[in-house]
Amino acid sequence: MEHSELSPAVLFSLGPVHVTSTIVTSWGIILGLWLASSLLCRRLRLTPGPVQTAAEGVLGAVEEAIRAVAPDHARLLLPFIGTLWIFLVVANLSGLLPGVHSPTRDLSATAALAILVFLSVHWFGIRSQGLKPYLRHYLTPSPLLLPFHLISEVTRTVALAVRLFGNIMSLEMAALLILLVAGFLAPVPILMLHIIEALVQAYIFGMLALIYIAGGLQSQQQRHTPQGERDE
Amino acid sequence: MELSWSTFLLEIVNFLVLVWLLKRFFYKPLQAVISRRQKGIESRLAEAGKAQAEARDLKQQYEQRLENWKEEARQARDKLQRDIHAERQKLQKELEDSLQKQREQAEIVQQRQQHELRRQMEQQAMEQGSQFAAKLLQQGAGPELQQRLLDLLLGSLEELTEAQRRPLREQMQETAAVVEIVSAFPLEGPQRQDLEEALRDVLQQDYPYHYIEDPKLLSGLRITVGPWQLGASVRDELHAFVKLAQAAQ
């Protein structure tokens, strides 16, 4: 199977399933996070050490960010949003390792994550309000807006996938081009930019996912909230 | 740039597995530890609150006790001041009494001193008066005056009662003394006879008579019969007058 810098290489196939470097890198990330979590949580103490303090700090920061957007559903959304942020940070930064491509430079991976966000919005919305009340919000404030709602659902999901893919892929491509043109160590500044961009993109993706999910959760609630209370 | 359905589906599965793994091995254990710590903190906070409440109660009790002590101290101070005031008044009164007593004693002493001074002055005046009178009478004294005084003496002897004469007689019998007659001027024979007769009449017995002249008597005479002395001289009269005046004071 042919591959270019824009499409990841297929490492092996299991019948119709082609396992690409993106999948293998993702497995590596998952394995690393699992091992790190297992090692960390095996030594949890009430008086935390530096590593546990850092882990609790990460968890606390994620929980606080979720609580700021969806105060009543912080515990419910934490596993999904937290995992999204952690995975995206690690996946985006993994491209800095020599010989490793970031999974998020693959449109299939970012599309998968975007689809998961899309599905999560509906899953949490229906779970919170019920099917009919949730679907009814597509008809508000007027049924005429239904097509726009549907287009919005699709475009924002596509935007999520393409934004992350475009940024990470372009960074890696820029670094590769500079390496080819200018030589060894020349792309170091662009790699520094890669770190910042990786963190920013992970934050944007996670925060947008959170906002979409919180919007789905609170759509029916907002419809029933009086105008005065909303202004407050 | 193409979409790989295998990658797409496997990535979905990968992510869902990662969600499960992190939830199982990261979020839950950490949340449990945080929750336990929070419970511990809340428990310690509750204990601290309880301790604080107890401390507040204790503080209130101590403040109340302190207030009571202050009140007791104030009452004790008031009582002490009252006692001091009473003691001061008592001491002041005692001092005033003592001063009054001393003042009275001083007045009495002063009065006595004045009285004594006055008495001494009067006595001195009497003595001076007596000396003056003696001096004056000395110039006017003579046998005639002595005769008149002898007459007075003889009259006095006659007027002696039996009760007055008896002790004289008994005394003379016991002592067998001499009758001593002192005169300022020499007594003539008739004068001596009248006198001896009068004495014999009083004493009922004859005794030896011893006549002596003493110009200090100024005029008149003095008869000494044992311990008994009868004076009828100017000097004795003046002495008697002075003593009488002193006795009258």
Of B102, B126, B160, which marks where a domain is finished? B102
My answer on whether B243 and B147 are in the same domain is yes
| B112: in domain | no
**Rounded Cα–Cα distance for residues A10 and A24 (Å):** 10
Residue A50 CB partners (closer than 8 Å, separation 6+): none
CB nearest to B34's CB, from A56, A84, A112? A56
Angle at B163 between CA B160 and CA B166, to 5 degrees: 95
Clarify whether residues B98 and B166 are in a common domain.
no
Which residues of chain A does B33 touch, with a Cβ-Cβ cutoff of 8 Å? 44-46, 48, 52, 56
Question: Do B97 and B163 belong to one domain?
Answer: no
**Closest Cβ opposite residue B8 in set A29, A60, A112:** A112
Chain B residue with the nearest C-alpha to that of A29: B18
Can you tell me the distance from the alpha carbon of B176 to that of B170, in angstroms, rounded to the nearest whole number? Answer: 10
Condensed to tens digits (0 to 9), the pLDDT of residues A84-106 reads: 999 999 999 998 888 888 999 89
What confidence tens digit (pLDDT) does each residue in A124-160 have?
Answer: 989 888 888 888 888 878 888 899 989 999 999 999 9
- The reply to whether B113 falls in a domain is no
- Position B116 in a domain: no
| B233 contacts B217 by C-beta, under 8 angstroms | yes
Domain with B218, as residue range(s), is: 141-248
List chain A residues with CB under 8 Å of B3. 107-108, 111
Option in B19, B29, B40 nearest A79 (CB): B19
Tell me whether residues A82 and B27 touch, CB distance under 8 A. Answer: yes
Residue B111 within any structural domain of the chain:
no
Contact B4, A16 (CB under 8 A): no
Task: Give the single-character DSSP code of B215.
Answer: G
Chain A nearest CA to B33, separation (Å): 6
The Cα of A18 is separated from the nearest Cα of chain B by a number of Å equal to 6
* Cβ–Cβ gap A41/B19 under 8 Å: no
Q: In this predicted structure, what is the pLDDT of residue A158?
A: 94
pLDDT of residue B57: 94
Radius of gyration of chain B (CA): 65
- Distance from B5 to chain A by nearest Cα, in Å? 7
Residue in B closest to A91 by C-alpha: B15
Q: Where are the alpha helices (DSSP H) in chain A?
A: 21-42, 50-69, 74-93, 107-129, 131-136, 146-182, 188-224, 227-231
Ranges of chain A whose pLDDT falls below 70: 1-6, 219-232
Counting as low any pLDDT under 70, the low residues of chain B are 1, 176-177, 249
Q: Is B6 in Cβ contact with A16 (below 8 Å)?
A: yes
Please indicate, yes or no, if residue B109 is contained in any of the structural domains. Answer: no
Q: Name the domain count of chain B.
A: 2
**Where is the domain boundary, B79, B102, B125?**
B102
Nearest residue of chain B to residue A22 (CA atoms): B7
Q: Is residue B134 part of a domain?
A: no
Q: Which residues of A touch B40 (CB under 8 A)?
A: 46
Q: How far is B61 from chain A (nearest CA, A)?
A: 38
Which amino acid is located at B178 in the chain?
Answer: V
Kindly report the pTM of this predicted structure: 0.60
- Tokens matching residue B104: 């009275």
Q: Could you tell me if B96 and B195 lie in one domain?
A: no
Query: How close A230 comes to chain B (CA, Å)?
Result: 32
The residue of chain B with its CA nearest to that of A115 is B12
DSSP A232: -
User: Which residues of chain A make contact with B30, given a CB cutoff of 8 A?
Assistant: 41, 44, 55-56, 59
Number of A/B CB contacts below 8 angstroms equals 121
Question: Which H/E stretch holds residue A140?
Answer: none
B149 found inside a domain: yes
Q: Does a structural domain hold residue B123?
A: no
Query: A116 and B29 in contact by Cβ < 8 A?
Result: no
Domain boundary among B48, B73, B102: B102
Report the gap between the CA of A139 and the closest CA in chain B (Å). Answer: 30
Statement to judge: residues B153 and B227 lie in one domain: yes
